[in-house]
Structure 1
Amino acid sequence: MILASPLLSAIPGLRHAFFTREGGASSGIYESLNGGLGSNDDPAIVAENRRRMAEQMGVTADRLINAHQVHSPDAVVATGPWETSTRPKADAVVTSTPNLAIGITTADCGPILFVDPHARVIGASHAGWKGALTGILESTIAAMERLGADRGGIVAAIGPLIRQPSYEVGGEFVERFLDADANNAVFFIPSEREGHAMFDLAGFIRMRLENAGILMIDDLGVDTYSDERCFSYRRSVHRKEPDYGRHIHAIALES
């Protein structure tokens, strides 16, 4: 049910989980651990799935929180639980509050969990191509620094996301990245289809983290598209399914 980062697992007083789709109560296309509040799954079943994940994180269900994600470069600070209906629109959450599990939801985009073990500040970032390109990782690090973190001491872990062999993109996509920085060409290789390319989202995320001064980076190397333990938006589209489940990936400081 859970994938873990060896780097994060070695840090005392910290809990984290990259949850797979296994171990939940959902059925059909959502089987089984769907945590997506925005999915069309039965809300009561989603609530039960989130309760199970919160229990795994060592917190009560109301203390497993995530923002309303909008593919932005915006990070917010959480000091305690918030109501689902009033959760902020952002794509990263940071905190220094113990026993508060901050999470993000994904179904191909990149989940990145952060911790400065000395300052006891944590972060969770949702980095799809748009967020990664426009600065969500840098915003997360800056928000952690405002809580006392030192980027030189931050450990980051990249969880399951769509990997280059599965991530075909069109020419306009490539041009957007090359317009931002010609050096981004290294993250694309030719596709079998003319005018298309295969994009290395994980490599792009790692580069942005390294350029931001993050020295300790773990990458689980899991491809959400090809690994059936994972939900995948792109796979659901290719299978002509009407909706898709969402993963929760979370991190918490123990008191």
Structure 2
Amino acid sequence: MAEYLTHGALTARHGFFTRRGGVSGGGYASLNCGLRGDDDPANVAENRARATAALGAARLVSLRQVHGPAVVEAEPEWTSLLEADALVTDRPGLALGIITADCAPVLFHDPVAGVAGAAHAGWRGAVAGVLEATVDAMVKLGAEPQRITAVIGPCIAQPSYEVRADLRDAVGDARFFAPGRDAAHFQFDLAGYCAHRLSGIGAALVLGVDTLAEEDRFFSHRRRTLAGGGPLGHQLSAIML
């Protein structure tokens, strides 16, 4: 069974899926939902079908994520992946899916307006404004910022996320960096930074799960890099009305 985590503040059906409960093998074991790797497409399709069924959704829609600020309104008739990093909907039964492997999956809901959103927020996308753009897109569908709750799901945690000065300078806010192993390295609080970017909504909450630290539960791009390369799976996070 596809395993997923939830947060009580989100009243819409949702799941931050782990890597458990799928059919992929090797470095993709087991619930790999990424569409751009070298995993067997039939396995990926089965994994995504298991996640969709676990949520009770009529259909799962997702994107070709590019680490940018673009947001689109989800359409059940999509036959190809659009390039964007967030999607929104006011249609019941349609699961909005984001894939990650250290970046932050962020799920949004306005229960009064009946509007949901999902965003992929790596540091580039967060700096570019993808989270605020998701809120703006939800507002166009009738949501109000003060009613929106967002939950930042499993992502790489600050103690695990050592970066160089160029990333620190690109983010431009020293509050989200701690000292690293030497003067040239810093530890970045991605989840905290995402929550800060969402300070204008009703609530922005952090699930507080480190993808790098839990190899048995989560895929991690940084873990794969530290190991010298190899296959990289991606976990799914999804929300539906």
Same fold (TM over 0.5): yes
> What residue number does 1:110 align with?
104
Work out the CA distance in 1 between the residues paired with 2:76 and 2:29.
Answer: 30
Equivalent residues in 2 for 1:63-142, closer than 5 Å: 63-83=59-79, 86-142=80-136
1:230 to 202, 212, 218: 218
Q: Is residue 154 from structure 1 mapped to residue 148 from structure 2 by the alignment? A: yes
Q: Is contact 1:80–1:97 with CA below 8 Å preserved after alignment?
A: no
Question: For structure 1, which runs of at least 5 residues remain unmatched after alignment?
Answer: 179-183
> What residue number does 1:215 align with?
202
Equivalent residues in 2 for 1:18-97, closer than 5 Å: 18-60=16-58, 63-83=59-79, 86-97=80-91
Work out the CA distance in 1 between the residues paired with 2:23 and 2:77.
Answer: 24
Q: CA RMSD in A?
A: 1.0
* Worse overlay, 244-253 or 51-60: 51-60
CA shift for structure 1 position 176: 1.6
Aligned amino acid, residue 23 of structure 1 = G
Scaled by the length of structure 1, what TM-score is found?
A: 0.91
Q: Is contact 2:63–2:84 with CA below 8 Å preserved after alignment?
A: yes
> What residue number does 2:177 align with?
188
1:198 to 174, 180, 187: 187
How many residues in Structure 1 have an aligned counterpart in Structure 2? 238
Give SS of 1:204's match: helix
CA shift for structure 1 position 15: 0.9
Deviation >4 Å, runs of 4+: none
Q: Is contact 2:195–2:205 with CA below 8 Å preserved after alignment?
A: no
Give SS of 2:198's match: helix
Scaled by the length of structure 2, what TM-score is found?
A: 0.96
Give SS of 2:61's match: strand
